[in-house]
Protein backbone atom coordinates (compact mmCIF):
# COMPACT_ATOMS: atom_id res chain seq x y z
CA UNK A 1 0.00 0.00 0.00
CA UNK A 2 1.56 3.25 -1.08
CA UNK A 3 -1.24 5.65 -2.11
CA UNK A 4 -3.48 6.84 0.73
CA UNK A 5 -6.41 9.04 -0.28
CA UNK A 6 -7.99 11.35 2.30
CA UNK A 7 -11.66 11.70 1.38
CA UNK A 8 -14.60 13.63 2.81
CA UNK A 9 -18.02 14.77 1.66
CA UNK A 10 -18.10 18.04 3.58
CA UNK A 11 -15.68 20.62 4.86
CA UNK A 12 -14.53 21.08 8.43
CA UNK A 13 -13.87 17.42 9.26
CA UNK A 14 -10.11 17.84 9.66
CA UNK A 15 -9.23 16.10 6.40
CA UNK A 16 -6.33 18.33 5.40
CA UNK A 17 -4.99 18.46 8.96
CA UNK A 18 -5.01 14.68 9.03
CA UNK A 19 -3.37 14.50 5.59
CA UNK A 20 -0.49 16.74 6.63
CA UNK A 21 0.17 15.06 9.94
CA UNK A 22 -0.13 11.51 8.62
CA UNK A 23 2.34 12.37 5.90
CA UNK A 24 4.71 13.86 8.47
CA UNK A 25 4.39 10.69 10.53
CA UNK A 26 5.23 8.40 7.61
CA UNK A 27 8.07 10.71 6.52
CA UNK A 28 9.98 9.96 9.73
CA UNK A 29 10.77 6.48 8.41
CA UNK A 30 10.23 6.42 4.65
CA UNK A 31 10.12 8.77 1.64
CA UNK A 32 6.68 10.41 1.64
CA UNK A 33 4.99 13.04 -0.50
CA UNK A 34 1.66 14.89 -0.34
CA UNK A 35 -0.45 15.58 -3.43
CA UNK A 36 -2.86 18.49 -2.93
CA UNK A 37 -5.97 17.76 -5.02
CA UNK A 38 -8.09 20.35 -3.20
CA UNK A 39 -8.62 23.57 -5.23
CA UNK A 40 -8.33 25.50 -1.95
CA UNK A 41 -4.67 24.46 -1.86
CA UNK A 42 -4.37 24.41 1.93
CA UNK A 43 -1.65 21.76 1.97
CA UNK A 44 0.38 23.68 -0.60
CA UNK A 45 0.03 26.87 1.47
CA UNK A 46 1.13 25.05 4.63
CA UNK A 47 4.32 23.90 2.93
CA UNK A 48 5.02 27.17 1.08
CA UNK A 49 4.60 29.30 4.21
CA UNK A 50 6.61 27.04 6.50
CA UNK A 51 10.07 27.93 7.78
CA UNK A 52 10.64 24.24 8.54
CA UNK A 53 10.57 22.73 5.05
CA UNK A 54 13.44 20.40 5.89
CA UNK A 55 11.21 18.77 8.53
CA UNK A 56 8.20 18.32 6.27
CA UNK A 57 7.28 15.97 3.42
CA UNK A 58 7.14 17.82 0.08
CA UNK A 59 3.75 18.93 -1.26
CA UNK A 60 2.82 19.08 -4.95
CA UNK A 61 -0.36 20.00 -6.78
CA UNK A 62 -2.04 17.14 -8.60
CA UNK A 63 -1.39 17.00 -12.33
CA UNK A 64 -4.06 16.73 -15.01
CA UNK A 65 -2.96 13.12 -15.55
CA UNK A 66 -3.00 11.87 -11.97
CA UNK A 67 -2.33 8.26 -13.00
CA UNK A 68 0.93 9.20 -14.71
CA UNK A 69 1.92 11.51 -11.85
CA UNK A 70 1.44 8.74 -9.27
CA UNK A 71 3.41 6.24 -11.37
CA UNK A 72 6.27 8.74 -11.61
CA UNK A 73 6.24 9.59 -7.89
CA UNK A 74 6.24 5.93 -6.91
CA UNK A 75 9.76 5.65 -8.31
CA UNK A 76 10.92 8.10 -5.62
CA UNK A 77 8.49 7.86 -2.72
CA UNK A 78 7.22 4.95 -0.62
CA UNK A 79 4.08 6.77 0.52
CA UNK A 80 1.85 9.13 -1.43
CA UNK A 81 -0.85 10.98 0.52
CA UNK A 82 -3.57 12.60 -1.62
CA UNK A 83 -5.64 15.35 0.03
CA UNK A 84 -8.96 15.50 -1.85
CA UNK A 85 -11.56 18.30 -2.06
CA UNK A 86 -14.36 18.21 0.54
CA UNK A 87 -16.78 16.69 -1.98
CA UNK A 88 -17.22 13.12 -3.12
CA UNK A 89 -18.64 14.46 -6.40
CA UNK A 90 -15.49 16.41 -7.30
CA UNK A 91 -13.62 15.03 -10.33
CA UNK A 92 -10.37 15.24 -8.35
CA UNK A 93 -11.84 12.89 -5.74
CA UNK A 94 -12.98 10.40 -8.37
CA UNK A 95 -9.53 10.44 -9.98
CA UNK A 96 -7.79 9.91 -6.63
CA UNK A 97 -10.00 6.97 -5.69
CA UNK A 98 -9.21 5.33 -9.02
CA UNK A 99 -5.45 5.37 -8.31
CA UNK A 100 -5.53 4.93 -4.53
CA UNK A 101 -4.69 1.83 -2.54
CA UNK A 102 -6.43 3.01 0.61
CA UNK A 103 -9.16 5.58 1.34
CA UNK A 104 -9.06 7.14 4.80
CA UNK A 105 -12.29 8.96 5.62
CA UNK A 106 -12.40 11.37 8.58
CA UNK A 107 -15.90 11.94 9.93
CA UNK A 108 -17.02 14.31 12.68
CA UNK A 109 -19.48 13.29 15.38
CA UNK A 110 -22.47 15.03 13.78
CA UNK A 111 -25.72 14.05 12.02
CA UNK A 112 -24.61 15.90 8.87
CA UNK A 113 -21.49 13.77 8.63
CA UNK A 114 -23.50 10.59 9.06
CA UNK A 115 -25.93 11.57 6.31
CA UNK A 116 -23.01 12.32 3.99
CA UNK A 117 -21.71 8.77 4.45
CA UNK A 118 -24.48 7.35 2.25
CA UNK A 119 -23.10 9.18 -0.80
CA UNK A 120 -19.57 8.21 0.15
CA UNK A 121 -20.43 4.52 0.27
CA UNK A 122 -21.80 4.76 -3.27
CA UNK A 123 -18.69 6.57 -4.48
CA UNK A 124 -16.47 3.83 -3.05
CA UNK A 125 -18.54 1.18 -4.81
CA UNK A 126 -18.19 3.04 -8.12
CA UNK A 127 -14.44 3.47 -7.63
CA UNK A 128 -14.05 -0.25 -6.99
CA UNK A 129 -15.54 -0.98 -10.41
CA UNK A 130 -12.23 0.25 -11.88
CA UNK A 131 -10.04 -0.15 -8.77
CA UNK A 132 -11.23 -3.35 -7.06
CA UNK A 133 -8.32 -3.41 -4.61
CA UNK A 134 -9.29 -0.11 -2.97
CA UNK A 135 -9.55 -0.47 0.83
CA UNK A 136 -11.32 2.04 3.08
CA UNK A 137 -11.36 3.01 6.74
CA UNK A 138 -13.50 5.56 8.59
CA UNK A 139 -11.85 7.52 11.39
CA UNK A 140 -13.75 9.66 13.88
CA UNK A 141 -12.18 13.12 13.81
CA UNK A 142 -12.33 16.12 16.15
CA UNK A 143 -13.73 13.92 18.90
CA UNK A 144 -14.97 15.58 22.09
CA UNK A 145 -15.30 12.63 24.42
CA UNK A 146 -17.87 14.12 26.79
CA UNK A 147 -20.56 14.82 24.20
CA UNK A 148 -23.46 12.45 23.60
CA UNK A 149 -22.85 12.41 19.84
CA UNK A 150 -19.23 11.41 20.31
CA UNK A 151 -20.28 8.51 22.51
CA UNK A 152 -22.93 7.33 20.05
CA UNK A 153 -20.88 7.79 16.88
CA UNK A 154 -19.03 4.44 16.82
CA UNK A 155 -22.31 2.50 17.01
CA UNK A 156 -23.87 4.67 14.31
CA UNK A 157 -20.91 4.18 11.97
CA UNK A 158 -20.99 0.44 12.57
CA UNK A 159 -24.22 0.36 10.54
CA UNK A 160 -22.24 1.30 7.42
CA UNK A 161 -20.43 -1.16 5.20
CA UNK A 162 -17.06 0.52 5.85
CA UNK A 163 -14.61 -0.47 8.58
CA UNK A 164 -14.20 2.00 11.45
CA UNK A 165 -10.83 2.71 13.09
CA UNK A 166 -10.60 1.98 16.80
CA UNK A 167 -8.42 5.09 17.11
CA UNK A 168 -10.25 8.43 17.12
CA UNK A 169 -8.60 11.79 16.50
CA UNK A 170 -9.50 14.17 19.30
CA UNK A 171 -10.07 17.88 18.93
CA UNK A 172 -6.78 19.39 20.09
CA UNK A 173 -5.50 22.96 19.98
CA UNK A 174 -2.04 21.69 18.97
CA UNK A 175 -3.32 20.79 15.49
CA UNK A 176 -4.23 24.42 14.83
CA UNK A 177 -1.05 25.70 16.49
CA UNK A 178 1.21 23.44 14.44
CA UNK A 179 -0.50 24.46 11.20
CA UNK A 180 -0.04 28.15 12.05
CA UNK A 181 3.65 27.52 12.77
CA UNK A 182 4.13 25.53 9.55
CA UNK A 183 4.94 22.30 11.37
CA UNK A 184 3.34 18.97 12.17
CA UNK A 185 2.39 17.85 15.67
CA UNK A 186 5.49 15.62 15.59
CA UNK A 187 7.62 18.76 15.71
CA UNK A 188 5.78 20.44 18.59
CA UNK A 189 7.62 18.79 21.47
CA UNK A 190 5.63 17.96 24.57
CA UNK A 191 2.66 20.00 23.31
CA UNK A 192 2.21 17.56 20.46
CA UNK A 193 2.97 14.32 22.30
CA UNK A 194 -0.62 13.15 22.83
CA UNK A 195 -1.63 13.99 19.25
CA UNK A 196 1.48 12.27 17.88
CA UNK A 197 0.72 9.11 19.86
CA UNK A 198 -2.84 9.15 18.53
CA UNK A 199 -1.62 9.40 14.94
CA UNK A 200 0.90 6.60 15.43
CA UNK A 201 -1.93 4.37 16.64
CA UNK A 202 -3.99 5.25 13.57
CA UNK A 203 -1.08 4.49 11.25
CA UNK A 204 -0.70 1.07 12.87
CA UNK A 205 -4.37 0.41 12.14
CA UNK A 206 -4.07 1.57 8.53
CA UNK A 207 -1.08 -0.67 7.90
CA UNK A 208 -2.70 -3.67 9.62
CA UNK A 209 -6.04 -3.15 7.88
CA UNK A 210 -4.39 -3.07 4.46
CA UNK A 211 -2.50 -6.37 4.82
Domains delineated in the chain? 3-209 (3.40.50.300)
Q: Residue 101 in contact with residue 133, Cβ under 8 Å? A: yes
For 20-51, what is each residue's pLDDT tens digit?
Answer: 999 999 999 999 999 999 999 999 998 888 88
Categorize the per-residue pLDDT at 13 as very low, low, confident or very high, splitting at 50, 70 and 90: confident
Q: Residue 92 in contact with residue 98, Cβ under 8 Å? A: no
User: Residue ranges of the alpha helices (H) in 65-192?
Assistant: 66-73, 91-99, 111-130, 148-157, 173-180
For 76-92, what is each residue's pLDDT tens digit?
Answer: 999 999 999 988 889 99
Q: Indicate the pTM of the whole model.
A: 0.91
For 192-210, what is each residue's pLDDT tens digit?
Answer: 999 999 999 999 999 887 5
Dihedral sign for Cα 164, 187, 101, 43, please.
positive
Categorize the per-residue pLDDT at 114 as very low, low, confident or very high, splitting at 50, 70 and 90: confident
Mean pLDDT value across residues 152-176:
82
Residue 135 DSSP symbol: E
Per-residue pLDDT for 11 more than 90? no
Amino acid sequence: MSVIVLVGNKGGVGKTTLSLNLAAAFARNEPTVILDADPQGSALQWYANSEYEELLPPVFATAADLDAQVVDLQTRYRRIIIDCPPSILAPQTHAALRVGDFALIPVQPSPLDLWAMVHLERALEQARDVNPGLEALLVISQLEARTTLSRLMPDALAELDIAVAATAIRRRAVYRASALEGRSVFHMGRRGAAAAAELDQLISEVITHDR
